């Protein structure tokens, strides 16, 4: 049976006009790939031999075609490259990414396909096969790129119109257009329409993305039991679609079934062990379940596979040392030395990888002191506590809520109650709107006024948001200022107030002082890390404030 895409009339691809990046660590095969592209008419061909150079090349140039080997020796692999390019939006909407490999293990194939390259080629292959795959992938990508561009710009209604038009003109791509249509409806929070669309598809034929869509809408509507039933059916019917396991575990955890969530994630990591984020989540849930063995194995894998990943964080290092410390209790002398050696190695890697970040160095020093207390090495406890106290004053960014709880618990265990309370107080001021965090903080603090004030600030902030939603911006500002009297450094309240001041200006209060006040509030936010989820909003509000000031 002929390929339906191949049967369609396609315009000839002018490879002479396409920019190509070849990522291949084996020089001879890299030259072979380059030769194939030249035979096809390619002229603008760049060649790199490792993952880091590939990422840098994509930062400097937007390529039309990327041919990446999966296995690149000791550098980032093809899966990690594709994941980073997608996450940091370094690919054009029309770019084609082809994964190339000589391996065919289940773990490798699952890992390579999880981030959905546009095509997949197993070595050896010839120029004819490469051209055939590229022709099909480029035709499809070019056809759908108007939808993708509009979705990236969050022009959902325009994207929906393009979905309809392209599907009408190209019925063979109707399903791809329906998938984009679903994503638009979900982004618009038109859940009933999105559910109707995916349910109709699933009733006709169970398709993985449509089943996922049904489950996601159940989740968005907080119909958790229906979501669990759907995702369970999906993992049974499509056991190689790992996103189904992720969603199932997420819902199981939310409804209070952490053991089931752990079992679900274990099935997923067996199929695709190199997924860093999934390994970390498995480790966290295993910790919650007091399953030290699984916790250790998961964070050990996360450290291993994160060695070349942009998504590596201190979390997996610290959590691994914590799990090794838990294993130390009650082990034989032989096991004890092996665990000690591994922990010291992990601390060394942590300190080296994040050596320029005082906040992470501080966290590492506290964790190292805590670990040393387990081994009864008082000299090391004092050494790392001294280091931690010196580093604390150098921290330039807010410590996260989870990290603050972890550090506070360790410091209290080590007798550093004053420092522990300082860290907790700062965290409560920043994250008072996180009920799970406040519940943990309440158990750790001796300052009862701290929790009471945090609840007052939260109530004022919530009331201000309600006034904002009714477009009563002056009253909203009034309540935001009251909340700031309690929590002056809280990033969310400051950003909320800035947004309100800008709205007041846009709504008719053409008073320059409103913009100057917004600028003042923004200038006071000095400890926000680029990686903080709130940074994007801060950056956008800063941009809008400056634009408005320039327009006066």
Q: Mean per-residue pLDDT for 385-395?
A: 94
**Class of the 453-552 domain?**
mainly alpha
Q: Mean per-residue pLDDT for 457-484?
A: 97
Alpha carbon of 292 to those of 48, 284, 328, 347, 404: distances in Å?
Answer: 42, 10, 11, 19, 22
Predicted pLDDT of residue 108: 58
pTM: 0.86
Alpha carbon of 480 to those of 27, 125, 378, 434, 545: distances in Å?
Answer: 61, 63, 48, 18, 18
Q: Mean per-residue pLDDT for 316-337?
A: 86
Planar angle of CA 478, 483, 486, nearest 5 degrees: 135
Predicted pLDDT of residue 48: 96
Predicted pLDDT of residue 7: 42
Q: Mean per-residue pLDDT for 528-545?
A: 93
More confident residue, 110 or 92: 92
Q: Could you identify the residue written with the tokens 């020796």?
A: 73
C-alpha 195/C-alpha 199 separation (Å) is: 6
Q: Mean per-residue pLDDT for 67-87?
A: 90
For residue 282, which of 323, 241, 310 has the smallest C-alpha distance?
323
Segment 478-490, tens digit of pLDDT: 999 999 999 999 9
Segment 126-158, tens digit of pLDDT: 999 999 999 999 999 999 999 999 999 999 999
2: pLDDT strictly greater than 80: no
Share of the chain above pLDDT 70, in %: 95
Predicted pLDDT of residue 334: 62
Helix (H, G, I), strand (E, B) or coil at 291: coil
The pLDDT confidence band at residue 552, using thresholds 50, 70 and 90, is confident
Q: Mean per-residue pLDDT for 368-379?
A: 95
Mean pLDDT of the chain: 92
CATH of 1-150, one of 3.90.1150.10, 3.30.530.20, 3.40.50.2300, 3.40.225.10: 3.40.50.2300
Predicted pLDDT of residue 435: 92
Taken as a whole, the chain contains a residue count of: 552
Segment 400-417, tens digit of pLDDT: 999 999 999 999 999 999
C-alpha 180/C-alpha 490 separation (Å) is: 37
Predicted pLDDT of residue 120: 87
Predicted pLDDT of residue 93: 85
Indicate if 453-552 has the same CATH topology as 153-256: yes
**DSSP secondary structure, 475-522, as one string:** HHHHHHHHHHHH-TT-HHHHHHHHHHHHHHHHTT---HHHHHHHHHHH
Cβ neighbors of 519 (< 8 A, separation 6 or more) are 545, 546, 549
Domain positions in the chain? 1-150, 153-256, 453-552
Predicted pLDDT of residue 4: 45
Q: Domain 153-256: give its CATH code.
A: 1.25.40.10
Query: Dihedral of CA 530/532/536/539: which sign?
Result: negative
Segment 194-229, tens digit of pLDDT: 999 999 999 999 999 999 999 999 999 999 999 999
C-alpha 303/C-alpha 294 separation (Å) is: 14
Q: How far from chain centre, in Å, is Cα 325? A: 28
Torsion of CA 61, 67, 70, 71, to 10 degrees: -80
C-alpha 368/C-alpha 267 separation (Å) is: 32
Query: Dihedral of CA 289/291/296/297: which sign?
Result: negative
**In which region does residue 101 sit, left (phi positive, over 0), alpha (psi from -120 to 50) or beta (all else)?**
beta
Q: How many CB atoms lie within 10 A of CB 439?
A: 10
Segment 288-311, tens digit of pLDDT: 999 999 999 999 999 999 988 888
Q: Regarding beta strands 44-48 and 65-69, do their DSSP bridges make them parallel or antiparallel, or are they unpaired?
A: unpaired
115: pLDDT strictly greater than 90: no
Predicted pLDDT of residue 5: 44
Q: How far from chain centre, in Å, is Cα 500? A: 29
Segment 343-356, tens digit of pLDDT: 999 999 999 999 99
């Amino acid at each position: 049976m002929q390929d339906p895409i191949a049967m369609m009339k396609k315009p000839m691809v002018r490879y002479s006009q396409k920019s190509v990046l070849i990522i291949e660590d084996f020089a001879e095969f890299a030259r072979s790939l380059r030769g194939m592209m030249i035979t096809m008419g390619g002229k603008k061909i760049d060649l790199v031999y490792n993952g880091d150079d590939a990422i840098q090349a994509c930062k400097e140039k937007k390529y039309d075609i990327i041919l990446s080997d999966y296995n690149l020796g000791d550098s980032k692999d093809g899966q990690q490259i594709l994941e980073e390019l997608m996450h940091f939006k370094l690919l054009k909407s029309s770019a084609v990414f082809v994964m190339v490999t000589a391996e065919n293990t289940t773990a490798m194939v699952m890992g390579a396909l999880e981030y959905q390259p546009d095509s997949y080629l197993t070595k050896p292959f010839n120029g004819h096969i490469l051209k055939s795959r590229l022709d099909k992938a480029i035709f499809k990508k070019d056809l759908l790129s108007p939808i993708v561009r509009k979705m990236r710009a969050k022009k959902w209604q325009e994207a929906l119109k393009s979905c309809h038009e392209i599907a009408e003109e190209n019925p063979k791509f109707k399903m791809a257009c329906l998938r984009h249509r679903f994503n638009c409806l979900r982004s618009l929070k038109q859940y009933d329409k999105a559910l109707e669309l995916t349910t109709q598809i699933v009733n006709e034929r169970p398709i993985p993305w449509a089943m996922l869509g049904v489950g996601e809408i159940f989740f968005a509507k907080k119909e958790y039991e229906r979501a669990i039933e759907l995702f369970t059916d999906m993992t049974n019917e499509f056991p190689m679609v790992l996103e189904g396991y992720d969603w199932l575990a997420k819902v199981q955890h939310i409804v209070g079934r952490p053991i089931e969530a752990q079992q679900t994630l274990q099935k997923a990591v067996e199929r695709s062990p190199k997924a860093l984020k999934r390994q970390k989540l498995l480790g966290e849930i295993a910790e919650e379940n007091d399953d030290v063995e699984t916790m250790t194995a998961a964070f050990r894998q996360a450290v291993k596979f994160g060695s070349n990943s942009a998504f590596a964080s201190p979390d997996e290092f610290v959590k691994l040392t914590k799990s090794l410390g838990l294993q130390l209790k009650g082990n034989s002398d032989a096991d004890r030395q092996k665990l000690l050696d591994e922990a010291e190695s992990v601390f060394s890697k942590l300190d080296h990888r994040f050596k320029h970040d005082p906040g992470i160095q501080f966290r590492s020093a506290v964790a190292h002191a805590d670990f040393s207390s387990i081994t009864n090495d008082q000299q090391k406890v004092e050494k790392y506590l001294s280091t931690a106290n010196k580093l604390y004053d150098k921290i330039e960014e807010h410590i996260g809520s989870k990290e603050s709880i972890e550090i506070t618990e360790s410091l209290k265990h080590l007798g550093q109650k004053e420092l522990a309370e300082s860290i907790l107080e700062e965290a409560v001021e920043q994250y008072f709107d996180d009920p799970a965090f406040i519940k943990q903080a309440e158990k750790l603090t001796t300052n009862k006024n701290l929790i009471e004030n945090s609840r007052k600030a939260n109530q004022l902030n919530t009331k201000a948001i309600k006034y904002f939603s009714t477009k009563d911006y002056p009253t909203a500002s009034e309540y935001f200022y009251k909340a700031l009297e309690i929590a002056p450094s809280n990033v969310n309240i400051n950003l909320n107030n800035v947004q309100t001041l800008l709205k007041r200006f846009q709504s008719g209060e053409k008073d320059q002082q409103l913009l100057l006040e917004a600028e003042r509030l923004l200038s006071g936010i000095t400890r926000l890390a680029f990686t903080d989820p709130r940074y994007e909003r801060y950056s956008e509000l800063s941009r809008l404030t400056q634009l408005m000031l320039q327009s006066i």
